[in-house]
């Protein structure tokens, strides 16, 4: 395997992070939902949580493209990105801030969430487990292998909806008292092994098939450990802070990577390893600024009355 293909294979493991985000999103939204929360209130708070920082990073990406520093796509493509519908159009998928395609999927999840959570809440436990099993079968054995291209398996919003639905169902089972039989250490090692094996998967979409179940186990084991009051390393204040900045980090990191690559050109593996720590530090610093001056104040203004739930930091 050449250096360039090695770098691409490692970069493709971002697929693991997106899958984690989708499952966790469904789990946290269902976990934190109050029985009297209406759809309009939910939509307003999701807009306040997601859109202001998306719009800001979109504007930065487009401005940099106008300066010739990055590529943000055509004006029409940029418009679909601003409206978060770009994931429905393969040719516009990476317009604007490229990583925001996953927010386009999340928009579908949010629109359907009141219906999904209401339906799941009326199910018996056995039915909820059946839905989880069906989601696992689709995510692991069907969609990544039968889809005609990576787009239809990995980027098309309805294809990723199954991970979100699985997270909603798992949250209901945990709220009803079910406990993960696997400790966090074992679940984490399983995910590390699965992520390593997914490097040799034949395309970008296949890591989802390899890691979806281990990701769910890690989430469930971490929740179980938190409920027992023994979070350990995950409860370290610095990691908690990074968690608060995580959404901002996700939206700013690719912009910084693209700027670095514009200046340096595409790097071989040794040079990339030397530059990577600087890119990481710059991304974390930018995420703090974005959270401190854009994300948090905009959410406070738009969210409406009530304290922001800590569990919905993501």
Kindly indicate the confidence band of residue 111, based on its pLDDT and cuts at 50, 70 and 90: very high
Q: Is the pLDDT of residue 3 over 50?
A: no
Closest CA to 111 of 161, 147, 148, 169: 161
What whole-number distance in Å separates Cα of residue 274 and Cα of residue 272?
A: 5
Q: Is the pLDDT of residue 73 over 60?
A: yes
- Specify the range with the lowest mean pLDDT, choosing from 109-123, 228-242, 266-280, 282-296: 228-242
C-beta neighbour count of 282 within 10 angstroms = 16
What whole-number distance in Å separates Cα of residue 281 and Cα of residue 270?
A: 18
CB 132 within 8 A of CB 169: yes
Mean pLDDT of 54-79: 96
The helix (run of H) or strand (run of E) holding residue 11 is helix 3-11
C-beta neighbour count of 117 within 10 angstroms = 21
Q: Is the pLDDT of residue 240 over 90?
A: no
Q: Is the pLDDT of residue 4 over 80?
A: no
Cα-based distances in Å from 179 to 28, 117, 226, 228? 16, 20, 12, 11
Mean pLDDT of 260-283: 82
In this structure, what token pair is assigned to residue 198? 């997914």
Higher pLDDT, 123 or 10: 123
Kindly indicate the confidence band of residue 312, based on its pLDDT and cuts at 50, 70 and 90: very low
pLDDT of residue 309: 46
Q: Is the pLDDT of residue 68 over 50?
A: yes
Mean pLDDT of 294-312: 74
pLDDT 10s digits, 167-185: 999 999 999 999 999 999 9
pLDDT of residue 161: 98
Kindly indicate the confidence band of residue 31, based on its pLDDT and cuts at 50, 70 and 90: very high
Mean pLDDT of 219-241: 77
What residue segments make up the domains of the chain, in order of their start?
Answer: 3-230
In this structure, what token pair is assigned to residue 147? 């889809």
Mean pLDDT of 82-98: 97
Q: What is the DSSP string of 60-118?
A: HHHHHHHTTSS----HHHHHHHHTT-GGG-GGGTT-SSGGGHHHHHHHHHHHHHHHHHH
pLDDT of residue 235: 62
Q: Is the pLDDT of residue 277 over 50?
A: yes
pLDDT of residue 311: 38
- Specify the range with the lowest mean pLDDT, choosing from 43-47, 131-135, 204-208, 281-285: 204-208
pTM: 0.90
Q: Is the pLDDT of residue 301 over 80?
A: yes
Q: Under 8 Å CB-to-CB from 196, ≥6 apart: which residues? A: none
Q: Rounded to the nearest 5 degrees, what angle is found at the Cα of 22, between the Cα atoms of 223 and 276?
A: 95
CB 48 within 8 A of CB 303: yes
Kindly indicate the confidence band of residue 270, based on its pLDDT and cuts at 50, 70 and 90: confident
Q: Is the pLDDT of residue 124 over 60?
A: yes
Count Cβ neighbours within 10 Å for each residue of 41-73 and write b for 16 or more, e otherwise. Answer: ebeebbebbbbbbbbbbbebbbebbeeeebebb
C-beta neighbour count of 280 within 10 angstroms = 13
pLDDT of residue 26: 97
Kindly indicate the confidence band of residue 314, based on its pLDDT and cuts at 50, 70 and 90: very low
Mean pLDDT of 39-58: 96
């Amino acid at each position: 395997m050449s250096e360039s293909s090695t770098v691409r294979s490692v970069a493709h493991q971002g697929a693991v992070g997106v899958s984690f985000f989708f499952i966790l999103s469904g789990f946290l939204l269902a976990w934190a939902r109050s029985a009297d929360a209406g759809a309009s209130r939910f939509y307003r708070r999701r807009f306040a949580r997601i859109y202001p920082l998306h719009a800001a990073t979109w504007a930065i990406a487009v401005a940099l493209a106008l300066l010739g520093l990055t590529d943000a796509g055509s004006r029409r493509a940029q418009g679909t990105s601003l409206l978060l519908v770009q994931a429905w159009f393969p040719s516009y998928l990476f317009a604007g801030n490229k990583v925001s395609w996953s927010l386009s999927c999340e928009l579908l999840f949010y629109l359907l969430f009141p219906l999904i959570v209401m339906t799941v809440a009326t199910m018996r436990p056995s039915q909820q487990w059946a839905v989880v099993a069906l989601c696992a079968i689709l995510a692991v054995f069907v969609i990544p292998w039968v889809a005609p291209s990576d787009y239809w398996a990995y980027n098309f919003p309805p294809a990723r909806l199954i991970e979100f639905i699985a997270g909603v169902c798992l949250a209901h089972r945990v709220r009803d008292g079910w406990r993960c039989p696997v400790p966090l250490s074992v679940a984490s090692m399983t995910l590390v092994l699965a992520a390593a094996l997914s490097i040799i998967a034949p395309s970008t979409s296949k890591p989802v098939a390899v890691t979806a179940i281990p990701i769910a186990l890690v989430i469930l084991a971490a929740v179980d450990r938190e409920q027992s009051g023994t979070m350990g390393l995950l409860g370290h204040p610095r990691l908690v802070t990074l968690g608060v900045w995580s959404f901002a980090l996700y939206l700013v990191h690719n912009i910084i990577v693209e700027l670095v690559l514009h200046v340096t050109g595409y790097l071989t593996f040794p040079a990339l390893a030397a530059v990577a720590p600087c890119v990481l530090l710059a991304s974390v610093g930018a995420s703090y600024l974005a959270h401190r001056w854009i994300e948090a104040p905009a959410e406070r203004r738009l969210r409406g009355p009530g304290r922001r739930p800590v569990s919905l930091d993501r």
